[in-house]
């Protein structure tokens, strides 16, 4: 069920970190969902601003997407959440970028929501965020995640504190809702003020 409120995430800023080989739908559907609810989404990459990222539809090339910010120019403090789409090649290349991994690590240290889907959770290993966390992912990633110290389960979405993970494109509605809820919690806590 999609939450229906075009302004619920107004003022929230979400970073999407990705590069060539990203599974296209795992970028376009969550981005569209977030923007419909008023969030500002920025596509960042280890590639330069203005360069193109090649999307994939499984094994075939899909659309290209324009990089809006180089990851080295991004500060976790400027964003409320981080999204890591999947695809086989995309996280593999992100893991080769010290700047990308450092950004993910810093985001985790600031205790902000990180949502990763499909192969995306693999980048959490290099950022030091997988160990001791409960995660899900594309099933082929299970062994690597558990070897890194994660607890893995085969669920459409797993929320472990600020980490949100899903397995595949079919899980995107649940993935979107979990990220929506994580972004709304801060706003609701601010609205409620001190608890009595």
Catalytic residues: 118
First to last CA, the chain: 32
Please name the residues in contact with 72: beta carbons below 8 A apart, sequence gap of 6 or more: 99
Residue 156, judged by CB atoms within 10 A of its CB (0-12, 13-18, 19+), counts as middle
How far is residue 155 CA from its own chain's centroid?
Answer: 17
* Nearest CA-CA partner of 83 in 40, 49, 139: 40
Helical residues (DSSP H) of the chain, grouped into ranges:
25-36, 89-94, 98-109, 122-126, 142-147, 172-192
């Amino acid at each position: 069920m999609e939450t229906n409120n075009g302004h619920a995430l107004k003022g929230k800023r979400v970073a999407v970190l990705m590069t060539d080989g990203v599974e296209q739908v795992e970028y376009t559907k969550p981005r569209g969902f977030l923007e419909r609810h008023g969030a500002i989404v920025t596509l960042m990459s280890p590639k330069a601003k203005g360069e193109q990222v090649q999307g994939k539809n499984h094994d075939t090339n899909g659309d290209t997407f324009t990089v809006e910010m180089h990851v080295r120019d991004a500060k976790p403090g400027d964003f409320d959440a981080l999204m890591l789409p999947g695809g086989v090649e995309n996280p593999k290349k992100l893991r080769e970028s010290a700047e990308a991994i450092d950004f993910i690590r810093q985001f985790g240290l600031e205790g902000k929501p990180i949502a990763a889907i499909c192969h995306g959770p693999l980048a959490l290993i290099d950022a030091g965020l997988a160990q001791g966390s409960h995660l899900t992912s594309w099933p082929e990633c299970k062994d690597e995640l558990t070897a890194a110290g994660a607890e893995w389960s085969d669920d459409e979405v797993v929320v472990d504190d600020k980490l949100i993970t899903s397995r595949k494109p079919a899980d995107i509605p649940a993935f979107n809702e979990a990220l929506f809820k994580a972004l709304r919690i801060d706003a609701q806590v601010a609205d409620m003020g001190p608890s009595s």
